[in-house]
C-alpha cells in the first residue's frame, strides 16, 4: 500500500493545488463565490446524491445505463465490423473514407435527424451517442488486426482455420490489446456524448440535471453534477486501465513495442 501510494501521489498534486487555490480565491472574494463557490461547499452539497427529493441518484443511474448500453453496442458492432472489413483491401479503403468523413462531426449533431425517425426516445439518445465510439472501435480493431504477425495468419491458412475458428481463435485474440485500448478511448467519448445529448434531448440524466440547474442559476448543484461527471470519467479511465492490466498483463509490452 505504501509503495502504491508513493507511485501514485504525483497524480494528485495538480488537482489538489488547483482546488486549494480555488478555495482560497473564492473565500477571499478574488473570484465571485456566486459563480465559483468554494470546493468545500460543493463537497458538502454533494449530499444531494442521496436526497430522494432532488432525484440526482436517479439521474446518475440513467447516465450510467446509457453509457453502458452505448459502449456495449460500440464494442460488439465495432469489433465485428473492424475485423470484417480487413478481409478485403477494397472494402477497407472504402470504409476508411466513410469513417474519415464522419469522425470529425460531433455525434450530438446527429440527434435532430434521429428524432425525426424515432422521436425523443432512449433509442435516439443511444444511437446518437454510439456514432463516435463506434468509429473509434472500428479503427482500433482494424489497427489491431493489421498488427498481427503475417506468419501466424499464413500458418492458420495452411491448417485450414477459417470462419469462426479464424475469427475467435486468431483475429480477436491477436487484435485484443488494440481492442482493449479502443474500449478505453471509446469510454471517454461515450461519456462525453451521453452528457451532451442529455443536455439537449433527455428528460433525466446528469447532463439534463446540470443544464436545468444552470438555467435557474443553482450554481452549487451544477458543480456537484460536474464533480460526479469528472469522477465517472476518472473511473472509466483509471479503473478500466487497472482491470485491463490485470486481465491482459502483456498489454503494456505490446503497446510499448508498437510505439
**215-241 pLDDT, tens digit each:** 888 888 899 999 899 888 888 877 777
Specify the pLDDT at position 101: 82
Helix, strand or coil, per DSSP, at residue 72: helix
Helix, strand or coil, per DSSP, at residue 120: coil
CB 138 within 8 A of CB 98: no
91-97 long-range Cβ contacts below 8 angstroms, 24+ apart: 92/142, 95/138, 96/142
Terminal Cα-to-Cα distance of the chain (whole angstroms): 31
> Cell for 251?
498489454
**Whole-prediction pTM value?**
0.81
Residue ranges per structural domain of the chain: 62-258
CB 141 within 8 A of CB 167: no
Q: How confident is the model at residue 135 (pLDDT cuts 50, 70, 90)?
A: very high
Residue among 93, 31, 48 nearest 222 (CA) = 48
Q: What is the pLDDT of residues 149-173, one digit of tens each?
A: 777 666 666 666 666 666 666 777 7
CATH of span 62-258: 1.10.3720.10
Amino acid at each position: 500500500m505504501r509503495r502504491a501510494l508513493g507511485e501514485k501521489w504525483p497524480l494528485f498534486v495538480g488537482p489538489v493545488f488547483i482546488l486549494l487555490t480555488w478555495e482560497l480565491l473564492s473565500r477571499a472574494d478574488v473570484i465571485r463565490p456566486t459563480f465559483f463557490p468554494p470546493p468545500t461547499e460543493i463537497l458538502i452539497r454533494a449530499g444531494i446524491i442521496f436526497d430522494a427529493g432532488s432525484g440526482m441518484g436517479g439521474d446518475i443511474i440513467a447516465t450510467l445505463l446509457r453509457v453502458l448500453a452505448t459502449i456495449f453496442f460500440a464494442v460488439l458492432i465495432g469489433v465485428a465490423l473492424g475485423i470484417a472489413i480487413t478481409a478485403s483491401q477494397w472494402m477497407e479503403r472504402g470504409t476508411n473514407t466513410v469513417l474519415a468523413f464522419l469522425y470529425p462531426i460531433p455525434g450530438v449533431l446527429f440527434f435532430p435527424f434521429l428524432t425525426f425517425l424515432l422521436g425523443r426516445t432512449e433509442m435516439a439518445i443511444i444511437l446518437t451517442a454510439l456514432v463516435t465510439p463506434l468509429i473509434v472501435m472500428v479503427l482500433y480493431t482494424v489497427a489491431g488486426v493489421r498488427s498481427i504477425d503475417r506468419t501466424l495468419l499464413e500458418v492458420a491458412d495452411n491448417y485450414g482455420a477459417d470462419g469462426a475458428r479464424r475469427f475467435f481463435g486468431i483475429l480477436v485474440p491477436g487484435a485484443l490489446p488494440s481492442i482493449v485500448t479502443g474500449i478505453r478511448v471509446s469510454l471517454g467519448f461515450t461519456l462525453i456524448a451521453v452528457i451532451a445529448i442529455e443536455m439537449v434531448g433527455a428528460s433525466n440524466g446528469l447532463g439534463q440535471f446540470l443544464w436545468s440547474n444552470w438555467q435557474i442559476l443553482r450554481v452549487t448543484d451544477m458543480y456537484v453534477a460536474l464533480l460526479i461527471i469528472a469522477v465517472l470519467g476518472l473511473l472509466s479511465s483509471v479503473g478500466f486501465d487497472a482491470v485491463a492490466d490485470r486481465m491482459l498483463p502483456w498489454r503494456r509490452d505490446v503497446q510499448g513495442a508498437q510505439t
